[in-house]
Structure 1
Amino acid sequence: MEHHFWSTVLDLCGKTTTVVGSHLMGEAGQSFTEQKSDGSLVTVADRWADQELRRGIAAIFPDHGLLSEEGAHHFPETDWCWIIDPIDGTTNFSHGLPIWCIALGLLYRGMPVFGYVAVPPLHQVFHGFYQAPGHGDGAYLNQQPIQCQPGVPSHQAFFSLCARSISLLKRPFPCKIRMLGSASYNFLTVAAGYTLGAVERTPMIWDIAPAWPIVHGAGAHWASLESLDKLDPLSVKNVPDIFPLKFGESYGDRSYHTLVSASSELAAIFLPYIRDSVTQ
């Protein structure tokens, strides 16, 4: 894969998310909100951003497939496919809380190889490569390399969880807890070294695909927790069963219980707490 291809990919992501992000910053806390059939929120701004991102990608890569939260959910029969989430953290966005993202993932033959997540309110841009054709692995925040920071769980270290995982708190947890309201950003806190771990109970494919290459590029550990009762904490899988995605299948109604940790050793420490919270 030529270097020019990846330069074009980065340029496309940078330009489109800058334009979309600038518009969304003016809409945050003001955009009209609706409730979708699954109970999640969607705003007029979500739909506008989805159209703008899809239009920008199609103009540069017309032969690439596209799958998005607000658009098509069936994985297309193309070698290259973009998976986008126009606003990850819509509830935060709709209330004006400044933790929401514009997330794009690029898959090659069903595997996420490039991720780009812009966080306009925080002036942060994450991107990363993992097993991408013609490009080395790595993760970056505002163009600077980042790596996860394995450490020892303590009340001076953070663990981030989603609202559906608060049952973890039924017994003392070995880290301080943070709850951020954006699945992508939740995962990326581990990649950036802010947290030792993060769990999401029901992330969708558009939450996972953009963060996957960045998290792996930063050296973090990713575990699919679909069968918690069968998992051995010392042999947590590092590759979830969902990849590679399969041509023609719909991914719009599937969620994937996920734990991201700064190391496999930390995953082994955190997993029993998560298992207990699910089985209680």
Structure 2
Amino acid sequence: MDRVLDQKALDTLAVAVQDAGRYAKEQQQCIHRSYKSDGTVITETDLAISRKILGVVSQLFENVNIISEETLTPFDPDAPFTFVLDPIDGTDVYSQGLPSWAVALGILDKQRNPVGAMISAPRWGLGEDELFLRLDPGKELLINGKPFSIRTNKDFPHQITMGSSGQRLMDFTHFEGKIRIFGSSILHMLSPVLYDHIQGCVNQSCYVWDITAAHAALLSVGMDIEYVDGTPFIYDDAFLLERKPFSPSFYAGTKDCIQALRKVLPAK
């Protein structure tokens, strides 16, 4: 298979992901919470979107891997691309009726580098009611179909996003900025990219489907993620294939922002 994904197939997939977000929005007022064996929340919408998107990817692309939070699938280490799906990132807040959730599909290349993303957040946005992020491998970042670029300096963390367990894991003694918590790792990580006055993110332990799409978006604008202990973040077998959460927490932002976060907001 060619190492370049077919453009028409990517167009079709983008429509499917955006439609999945809109479907989730329609279903939000009537969903029922249930729980997995590990105690995390799941809804019938998660399962329906997982089935739909996995089916679309399988039809459109040959010889690629698909990893989904809700479905176990085989993995070929020689496949040129791996699609990583979170049917709803932020299921807990979604099930409570809150707006901060997203359908997130990330794309890894054969070397496990995040190179693509499609993210539908139909109740979130930039001064409008819907956010759809698209990053085709090797192409520019698009927000609602338009090229996007960062307009402000992001090198010092005056305002950051963080997961809800951050208050237990991080030392706030020297941090004097603002913190935003939305309930979605994808939206936490996207915020330094999207919003002028948010510079960084601190994300606590979660799974590959919770971060891949947003990580690709960060990389596309010159940002990255790095563990709080200074080690680089990698998509190793434990994280990608064994479906284990990463550890410890990581910082997200520009290189300078990450260095500043390590000083003003270290791990306990």
Match of 2:113 in 1: 111
From 127, 143, 154, the counterpart of 2:134: 127
- SS of corresponding position for 1:163: coil
Match of 2:25 in 1: 25
Superposition deviation, residue 251 in structure 1: 3.5
What whole-Å deviation, never above 9, does each CA across 1:93-119 have from its counterpart, x for those lacking one? 101101110100112212221111111
One-letter identity of the residue aligned with 2:113? M
- Are the counterparts in 2 of residues 74 and 252 from structure 1 also a CA contact under 8 Å? no
From 212, 226, 240, the counterpart of 2:215: 212
What whole-Å deviation, never above 9, does each CA across 1:227-266 have from its counterpart, x for those lacking one? x2xx3xxxxx5x5132xx44996342222422111x2112
For the pair 1:259 / 2:251, whether they are aligned, the reply is yes
One-letter identity of the residue aligned with 2:116? F
What whole-Å deviation, never above 9, does each CA across 1:72-113 have from its counterpart, x for those lacking one? 266433222211000001011101101110100112212221
CA change 1:248–1:28 in 2 (3 A) is closer
Find the aligned partners of 2:174 and 2:265 in 1 and give their Cα distance. Answer: 12
Find the aligned partners of 1:114 and 1:264 in 2 and give their Cα distance. Answer: 21
Alignment length (residue pairs): 256
* TM-align CA RMSD: 2.6
Match of 1:94 in 2: 95
- Are the counterparts in 2 of residues 118 and 126 from structure 1 also a CA contact under 8 Å? yes
- Are the counterparts in 2 of residues 84 and 104 from structure 1 also a CA contact under 8 Å? yes
Superposition deviation, residue 7 in structure 1: 4.3
- Are the counterparts in 1 of residues 186 and 211 from structure 2 also a CA contact under 8 Å? yes
Find the aligned partners of 1:247 and 1:254 in 2 and give their Cα distance. Answer: 8
Find the aligned partners of 1:22 and 1:79 in 2 and give their Cα distance. Answer: 30
Superposition deviation, residue 143 in structure 1: 2.4
- SS of corresponding position for 2:166: helix
CA change 1:52–1:191 in 2 (3 A) is same
CA change 1:198–1:41 in 2 (3 A) is same
From 203, 208, 211, the counterpart of 1:200: 203
Greater Cα offset, 168-177 or 59-68: 168-177
Superposition deviation, residue 215 in structure 1: 0.7
From 236, 248, 259, the counterpart of 1:268: 259
- SS of corresponding position for 2:176: coil
Find the aligned partners of 2:3 and 2:63 in 1 and give their Cα distance. Answer: 17
Q: Compute the TM-score of the two structures, normalised by the length of structure 2.
A: 0.85
CA change 1:258–1:145 in 2 (3 A) is farther
One-letter identity of the residue aligned with 2:225? W
Q: Give structure 1 stretches of 5+ with no counterpart.
A: 232-236
Superposition deviation, residue 146 in structure 1: 2.7
Match of 1:222 in 2: 225
One-letter identity of the residue aligned with 2:50? D
Normalized per residue, which structure has more helix?
1
- Are the counterparts in 2 of residues 126 and 140 from structure 1 also a CA contact under 8 Å? yes
- SS of corresponding position for 2:123: helix
CA change 1:258–1:7 in 2 (3 A) is farther
CA change 1:73–1:186 in 2 (3 A) is farther
Match of 2:9 in 1: 8
What whole-Å deviation, never above 9, does each CA across 1:39-85 have from its counterpart, x for those lacking one? 32111111111001111111111432111100126643322221100
Find the aligned partners of 1:179 and 1:254 in 2 and give their Cα distance. Answer: 20
One-letter identity of the residue aligned with 2:261? F
Find the aligned partners of 1:46 and 1:259 in 2 and give their Cα distance. Answer: 28
Find the aligned partners of 2:122 and 2:211 in 1 and give their Cα distance. Answer: 19
Find the aligned partners of 1:56 and 1:152 in 2 and give their Cα distance. Answer: 39
CA change 1:196–1:80 in 2 (3 A) is same
Kindly, what percent of the aligned residue pairs are identical?
18
One-letter identity of the residue aligned with 2:250? T
